[in-house]
Each structure stands twice: as structure tokens, then as C-alpha cells.
Amino acid sequence: MATNLKNLSIYRNNNILPVDDMLIGIVVSEWNTEITEALLNGAVDTLIENGVVKSNIFTKYVPGSFELPLGAQLLIDNTNVDAVICLGCVIQGETRHFEFICQSVAQSISNLNLEYSIPVIFGVLTTDNIEQARDRSGGKHGNKGVEAAITAIKMIQLADELMGDEG
């Protein structure tokens, strides 16, 4: 959870096992591109820093955050990814649109996790303004993309541990 006391880019990698054979899908919203590209860069850099082979990272774009769940489902259905990271940014406006989009995306991503037993990571910023989004996409609160990448790695490792590496 992002607060003014937490930097999203700080993590302990002492319990991350070898990840060079992991296949990671990343679905990125084209809406709020300044933010989502920074999230993508943070995620990709972190995956590579932790041993994921660059050619094993599949990035696909969707128009907005609302389309992230379907983009994730299409990646799962049409590739052999071990996890999908969903990256987006929804900024509060003057209407209730923000609430509907955020709730729908969060619930749909949660459902994909349970339906497929593949980690689908919620890397979507839901902020009040652009400054908060910048602070969480490489600014003073780190980068949610980094957190999403580490979450994907750890959830793949948990699944492998509990279900057996059927790889």
C-alpha cells in the first residue's frame, strides 16, 4: 500500500530464487502515458535486474485501464506466461467515472487470479491528481512498477513451491 511513509521501490531480494526461465506478460494502459511508461520502465528494469531474460518479457498495450483485464486474459490464453503485470493509472476527475473504473479493474484482475491460478498483478495507480501519480511512478514514493515486478516474481515462486514446478 502506498502511503507517504512507504517507498514502492524498496524491497528485499534476499528470498528471490533464480528467475531466468520465467515468462512475464505486461499489459500497459496507453491512457496517462507519461505515468504508465514510467511504470513499465520500472517493472522491466526490476525484472531484468532480478534475472528475468529480456526476451521472456512480453509487453502489450491496451487503450485504457478498463481494458487491462481483457488484455491480461488474452495474454494468458495465447501465451505461456507465468504471470501478467497490469500497469495503468486512473486519476480522479470531477465525475464518478474514477470509482467505476477503479472498482471494475480491481475486481476483474482479482477474478483472473482465481480463475486461472496465474498471478495477475494489480499495478494500477489510483490517485487524486497527476502529482500523486508522478510521485508513485518514479518520484518520491518510488515506482509502483517495481513493486508489481517483485510481486510477480514472488507469486510465481509461491505457485511453483505449492503446486510443483511443472514448467
**Structural contact between residues 75 and 25, judged by C-beta atoms closer than 8 angstroms:** yes
The grid coordinates listed for 117 are 491460478
Angle at 57 between CA 19 and CA 130, to 5 degrees: 110
**Which residue of the set 34, 97, 99, 130 is catalytic?**
97
State which amino acid sits at residue 68: L
The Cβ of residue 55 has, within 10 Å, a number of other Cβ atoms equal to 7
Is residue 141 part of the annotated active site? The answer reads no
Pairing of the two strands 137-139 and 142-143: antiparallel
Place of cell 472498482: 103
Helix (H) or strand (E) segment spanning residue 125: strand 120-127
Residue 101 CA to residue 65 CA, distance in Å, equals: 8
The Cβ of residue 59 has, within 10 Å, a number of other Cβ atoms equal to 15
Alpha-carbon Rg for the chain in angstroms? 15
Catalytic positions, written as ranges: 97
